[in-house]
Structure 1
Amino acid sequence: MANLKTKQTEDSVTAFLNKVEDAQKRKDCFAISDMMQKATGLAPAMWGTSIVGFGSYHYKYESGHEGDMCIIGFSPRKQNIALYIPGGIHKYDDLLEKLGKHKTGKGCLYINSLDKVDVEVLNSIITQSLQ
């Protein structure tokens, strides 16, 4: 079985976020980190080389593949900020309609900037996804 690359590390979240080149994206990432920390009551941790995550859970698939992953997290990417929302993002379609400019994947929410979304709605998605 292959080694999992996305494991919790001891790397500094602050140092990682300070390396985000775009100043607005860097500021947004610190704000998202604060939102997730407040919602979870947990300190952020690095997962792999590019995910800021909060908490952890153990999963095991029917195939036998298992591992640990953060409960909720995000990753600053070149094009956008990917937010990893537990339980699937489409549970929140009603809130997504009010969110503003975004894209979605299976379990991800992609935003370009907090300026383009309703931060209160984003906070509601984060909070509700943890319940």
Structure 2
Amino acid sequence: MIAETVCSAVAVAGLGIAGVTAYRKRFLSAARIAAYSLLPLGLVMTGIVEWLADTAFSPTAWAGFGVLGAAWALFATTRAVERRRGGTRKERRAAARAERSDAVAAGASAPSLGQGTRPAAAPRAQGGADDFSDIEAILKKHGI
């Protein structure tokens, strides 16, 4: 009863504010304020406010919320453990099978090359002075 009265009063006050806003030639804002102020009145008329008030003061409803919270905590905990372990048992077995088949396939498909078939390494640049010639040119250009 009190919740319905409060919602009705909020609706009337909101409509008053919307009227003042419309008087100030801000019609778009006035329409938006009127829409927000009509929401509590609509909730009262549909009976949702009464249902919410009954739920808020019901110990059974609060126990139900507690059970829902416990279920959510269990879901979150089991998911965190699965992530830490690397997935569900079924997913881990599938991953282990895939690793074994990949390891066998990689070893089986590698060509067996003799020792003399590797390409020769490219020769390195000779001398340490040539390596710094570019740097010296840049430093001289800047007067250092």
Task: Give the TM-score range, shorter chain.
Answer: under 0.3
TM-score normalised according to structure 1 size: 0.21
The structure whose RCO (Cα within 8 Å, separation 6+) is larger is: 1
More strand by proportion, 1 or 2? 1
* Larger relative helix fraction: 2
